[in-house]
Structure 1
Amino acid sequence: MGKKAATSEVIDGLINGLRDTDAGVRRYACEALEKMGEKAATNEVINGLVNALRNTDAGVRRCACEALCIIGEKAATNEVINGLVNALRDVDDGVRWRACQALGKMGEKAATNEVINELVNAFLDDDAGVRLRACEALGKMGGKAATSEVINELVYALWDVDAGVRRCACQALGKMGEKAATNEVINGLVNALRNTDAGVRRCACEALCIISEKAATNEVMDGLVNALRDVDAGVRRRTCKALGKMGEKAATNEVINGLVNSLLDVSADVQGCAFQVLEVFS
C-alpha cells in the first residue's frame, strides 16, 4: 500500500515494530517505512531507524539504511549522519554500501569533514560494491567534497580492479567539475580512454567533456582523436561531444580530419555528432 497507508496510526505501529523481538518483524517494519518515503519522515520514525542501525540483525541494519536513503535530505540530521558514519564500519558489507548510498542521497547536507573522510577510507574496503558506492556518494556531494585528498583518491580509483568502481570514479570527478580539473585528474582520465572496459572509456569522455576548457591540452586531444576510432559507438559519440565542448582550442587539423572520417561512421548518432561539431568549428 506504501504511501496510501501512511497514517499516523500505521506509522506508530511500525515504529513499535522496529523494537519487536523478532528480527523478521523488525525488517518488515523498516521496509514498510521505506515504501512510505517522505510521508513517514517524522522525528520518531527517523530516531527509530537510527536505533535500527545498531540492531543485532544485519538484515535490519541494511533495511534501516535503505529507509534512510529513501527519506534522503529530510533525514539529514546530525544524529542520522553520525549513525550512518558508524555504519560505514559495519561488519556486514551490505550495510556498509547501503550506508554510502544513504549518505550520497543526502548530498551536500551530509558533506561534513567526518563523512568525507570516512567515504575516502571506504575506498580501501575489500568489497567492490562499497568502493563503488563511496565514489558515487562523493560525486553526489559535488564541489563540497572536492578536496585534494578526495580528488587524489578518485584518481587512484581510476585504476581499481573493478570496472564499476573505475566508471564511478570517472563520473564523480566529472560531477566535481572544474574543481577537479588538476593535471593528475586529466592525465588519469586520458589513461582511462584506453581502458579495457567500454563503460569506463565512455565515462572518461563524459568527464573530459564537463571539464572541457581546462582539459584542452595536446595530450587530451590526441587521446580523444584515438577515441574517435574506438570499437564502441557510445565512446565515439561521446568523444565527438567532448571535442565540440572544447571549441576552437580543439580545432586542429588532426581533430578535424578525425571528425571528417567520423562522418562515414557506421553509427548515425556518431555521424550526426561529428557533423554538429564540424559546424561549430566552421
Structure 2
Amino acid sequence: MSTAEIEKVFQSGASDAEIIAALQEPQPMLREKAIALAARHLPPEMLGRFVGNDENAVLRNAALAALERQGPYAVPHLVALSRGENAEVAMFAVQILSRIKDAGSAQALLPLLEHGDSNIAQAAIEALGALKAREAVPGLIRLLDADLWLQFAAVAALGEIGDQRAVQPLLDAVPNDMLSEPAVDALGRIASPEALPRLLTLLADHERLPLRDGVLKACAAILEAQHAPPSVFTRFRRKLDEERRDQDVIDYLGGLLGSDEAALARAAASVTLAAHLEKLYPAVVQRALSADPEEARWTAALCRRHERTVRAALRDLLRNGDPRVRRGALMCAPADPPTVAVLVPMMADRDAGVRAAACQALGRCRDMSAIPALIELFGRGTPPESVAAAEALGSMPGQSLVALAPYLELEGKVLPALEILAAARSPLFPDKIVELLDASQAPVRRAALRVLVNHDQMDVEEHLVRKLQDSDESVRIEAVELLVRNGSTRAVPALVGLLVVSDELRYHAIRALGRLHAETAAAELERLFPRATGHERLEILAALIRIGAPGLLPFLKARLKDSEAEVRRVAADGLARVAPASDLPLLVKLAQDPDWTIRNHAGWGLGRLALPQGRDALLALVRDTEAVVARTARAALAKLPQT
C-alpha cells in the first residue's frame, strides 16, 4: 500500500490508535510510511509521550523519527522536554533539536552544557555545534578541561562553529594524545592563519599516521581560506634545513602527490606550492593531467593562485625530460602575454601531446602574436594538435583571425574554421558567411548561422528568419535558438507562424516565444493549448508564465482542473510564482492538495508572498509526509516576519 493510499484510509476516519499501531509495524517500509503520516497527524505532545516509553523501543524510535520530521512545528515541545525530569527523554529531545537545526533553540540549549547528566550535556554540545551557535564558544572552551567524552564533543563542536576564539585552546589540546587528531581536525575547520606555524611544525616533526595526514589537511584548509604571510613558510623551510627533515617531508608529500587519495594529494599540492618545495613541482603539475577532469581543473586553479611561484619555475619545468611534466606545466602556465615567449617554442616539441598542450596554453593567453603558429598547426598538425590549435584560435580576438580565410574554401576545414569564428565571436568575412548559409551540408549551414549573429553590421534577423524555412530541421531549430539568443522581437510573427506546423520545430517555437517574452503571442499560445501534444502543452504553460501577459492568472487557475497531472503541476508552479497577495487563500488550498508536487509549489509560493496569514498552512506543510515538501515549508517559514 502506498503512502497516498494509507493517507486516504486515515482521512476517511482512522483513529490515532490506528496510526500508533502502524508505527509499530514490523516491516520497515510500512513503518517509514507510518512515521511520515504520524508527523502529519499526531501532535508533538503525544509523540513525546511515546519517547518516554522505554518498554517499547520500536514505538519510541518511530516517535523520535516523527518528531524530527515535524521540524519547527515540534521545537517548542522538544525544548520543554529537554528541561524535563526524565533524563533519557531530555537527551533524546536535545538530539532531535540538533538534527532539526532550528536556530531559535540555541538559547534553550546553552544551560544544558552544565547539566549534571553527561549524556544530556554531550547531546547539548553536539546540538550547539550543529547549530553553529557562537554564543556557546566560551562554555565549550571551559569543557576542554571536563570529562574526556565531553572534551571530544566540545572539540568537535568548536570546529563546527568555526570561531577564532577557539584556536589557542585547541592548539593547547593537540599535545594530548587522546585529543590531538580531533583538535587538529577542528583547527582545519576554523581555518585561522594563527594556527599555521604550529601546524607546520607538527607536519615536520610528527611521522605518525593518521595524525600527520590530519595536520596536512588542516594546513591546506587554512591555505584555501586565508592568505598566509611568506615568513611562515620561510621559518618552515629553515626548520627543515636545520633539522635535516626536508627529505622526510618531501618523501611524505611526494608519495601523496602520486597517489589516488584525492583529498590528501590536494593538500600536499597546496602545501608544496605555498612552501616553495621546488623538488615536488613536477609531481604537482602532473596532477593537471589527471583522468578526472575535476582533479585536473582543481590543480590548474591552484597553480593560478600561486602564479608567481609557477612563473618562476616554468622554464625549468618545460625543460624536464618527462613529457608528462612538460604537458602538466603547460596546463598550469600563467595565462598572460609575458608567458607567450616561453610557450611558443614548445609548439616545436618532439612530443605531439606537448605541442597540443602548448596550443591550449597559448589560447588561454589570448596573445595575437601566437596566431601564425597556431594557424600552421590547425592546417597541418596531427588531429590532436589541430583540435587544440582550433580551440586556442577560438579564444583569440575575433578581428584577428583574417588568416582563416583560405580554410573557408576547403571542404575538410570549413566546418572547424566556422566553429573557430563562432567561438571567437568574429565579425569577419560577412559575404562568405552569407554564402555558406546555403552550403550543401547542414552542419556547415548551422555553423554559419552561429557565426552570422556576430555581424552587427548586417541584418542578421532577416537571414535567421529565412532559415526558419530551411530544408533541414536541425538548421531550422538552430535558427530559432539564435533568434531567442539575439532577443529578436522582429521574429515573433514568423515564430507565431510556426505554431501551425506539427513537427519538432513547433515545440522550439513555443519555447522561443516564451523566452522572448512575446506578449503579442500569448493569445495564440492559449488558443493552441487544447490541440497541442503533451510536451507542447507543458511548454505552452511555461511560455505563458514567462510572458506574464494579462489573463495569465485565470488561464493557470483553469488548468488546475486539467485531467493531466503534469499540467496541473506546472500550473501550480506558475501560480506560486505570480499569484498576488489576494490569491493567498488559493495557495493555502493548494497546500492541501493530494499531489505532493502541488503542495510543494504552494509552500514555495507562500514563502514568496511572506505573509503572516500563510504561517498556519506552512506549519502544516512542515509535517508533510513528503520530505521535500517539509524542507520547502521550513525555508518558506524562515522568510515570514518573526512573531
When normalised by structure 1's length, the TM-score is 0.70
For the 8 Å contact 2:377–2:385, the answer to whether it is kept is yes
For the 8 Å contact 1:123–1:131, the answer to whether it is kept is yes
Q: CA 1:38–1:91 in structure 2 vs 1: closer, same or farther (change >3 Å)?
A: closer
1:14 corresponds to 2:343: no
Deviation at 1:140, TM superposition (A): 0.6
Deviations, residues 75-110 of structure 1 (Å, cap 9, x unaligned): 2x2x34444333222221111112223445x4xxx4
Which residue number in structure 2 is paired with residue 87 of structure 1?
436
Stretch moving more, 202-211 or 132-141: 202-211
CA distance in 2, matches of 1:84, 1:263: 57
Structure with the greater alpha carbon radius of gyration: 2
Which residue number in structure 2 is paired with residue 190 of structure 1?
526
CA distance in 1, matches of 2:466, 2:383: 28
Given candidates 538, 554, 562, the residue that maps to 1:202 is 538
CA distance in 2, matches of 1:196, 1:42: 43
1:274 corresponds to 2:602: yes
Given candidates 467, 471, 474, the residue that maps to 1:122 is 467
For the 8 Å contact 1:193–1:204, the answer to whether it is kept is yes
Given candidates 185, 202, 217, the residue that maps to 2:551 is 217
For the 8 Å contact 1:190–1:223, the answer to whether it is kept is no
Q: Percent identity?
A: 20
Deviation at 1:264, TM superposition (A): 2.4
Deviation at 1:68, TM superposition (A): 2.0
CA distance in 2, matches of 1:27, 1:85: 28
CA distance in 1, matches of 2:460, 2:562: 41
1:132 corresponds to 2:477: yes
> 1:1-282, aligned counterparts within 5 Å?
1=357, 3-6=360-363, 11-16=371-376, 31-36=387-392, 38-41=394-397, 43-44=399-400, 46-53=401-408, 55-57=409-411, 59-72=412-425, 75=426, 77=427, 79-103=428-452, 106=454, 110=455, 114-142=459-487, 145-147=488-490, 150-163=491-504, 165-177=505-517, 180-182=518-520, 185-194=521-530, 195-198=532-535, 200-212=536-548, 215-217=549-551, 221-222=554-555, 225-226=558-559, 229=562, 231=564, 233=566, 235-248=567-580, 251=583, 256=586, 260=589, 263-268=592-597, 270-277=598-605, 280=609
Secondary structure of 1:158 counterpart: helix
Q: CA 1:251–1:176 in structure 2 vs 1: closer, same or farther (change >3 Å)?
A: same
Q: CA 1:223–1:272 in structure 2 vs 1: closer, same or farther (change >3 Å)?
A: closer
The one-letter amino acid of 1:260's match is K
Deviation at 1:187, TM superposition (A): 2.5
Deviations, residues 210-250 of structure 1 (Å, cap 9, x unaligned): 221xx2327x73366326646464x5444234334443499
Deviation at 1:161, TM superposition (A): 3.4
Which residue number in structure 1 is paired with residue 322 of structure 2?
none
- The alignment yields a C-alpha RMSD, in angstroms, of 3.8
Where in structure 1 are there 5+ consecutive unaligned residues? Answer: none
Deviation at 1:191, TM superposition (A): 4.2
Deviations, residues 21-50 of structure 1 (Å, cap 9, x unaligned): xxxx69877643442265333644x22335
CA distance in 1, matches of 2:603, 2:576: 10
Deviation at 1:141, TM superposition (A): 0.7
Where in structure 2 are there 5+ consecutive unaligned residues? Answer: 1-356, 614-643
The one-letter amino acid of 1:209's match is I
For the 8 Å contact 1:146–1:176, the answer to whether it is kept is yes
The one-letter amino acid of 1:239's match is A
Deviation at 1:196, TM superposition (A): 1.4
Counting matched residue pairs gives 249
Deviations, residues 181-229 of structure 1 (Å, cap 9, x unaligned): 11xx11232245453142x3333223212221xx2327x7336632664
Deviation at 1:155, TM superposition (A): 0.8
Q: CA 1:202–1:249 in structure 2 vs 1: closer, same or farther (change >3 Å)?
A: farther
CA distance in 2, matches of 1:250, 1:48: 63
Deviation at 1:128, TM superposition (A): 0.8
Deviation at 1:115, TM superposition (A): 1.3
Deviations, residues 165-193 of structure 1 (Å, cap 9, x unaligned): 2333233222322xx211xx112322454
The one-letter amino acid of 2:436's match is A
CA distance in 1, matches of 2:596, 2:451: 39
Q: Which has the higher contact order (CA 8 A, sep 6+)?
A: 1
Q: CA 1:275–1:99 in structure 2 vs 1: closer, same or farther (change >3 Å)?
A: same
For the 8 Å contact 1:103–1:137, the answer to whether it is kept is no
CA distance in 2, matches of 1:47, 1:13: 14
CA distance in 1, matches of 2:484, 2:475: 14
Deviations, residues 131-170 of structure 1 (Å, cap 9, x unaligned): 101011010111xx212xx11111122344332x233323
Deviation at 1:263, TM superposition (A): 4.2
CA distance in 2, matches of 1:89, 1:33: 27
CA distance in 1, matches of 2:551, 2:474: 34
The one-letter amino acid of 2:433's match is L
The one-letter amino acid of 1:203's match is E
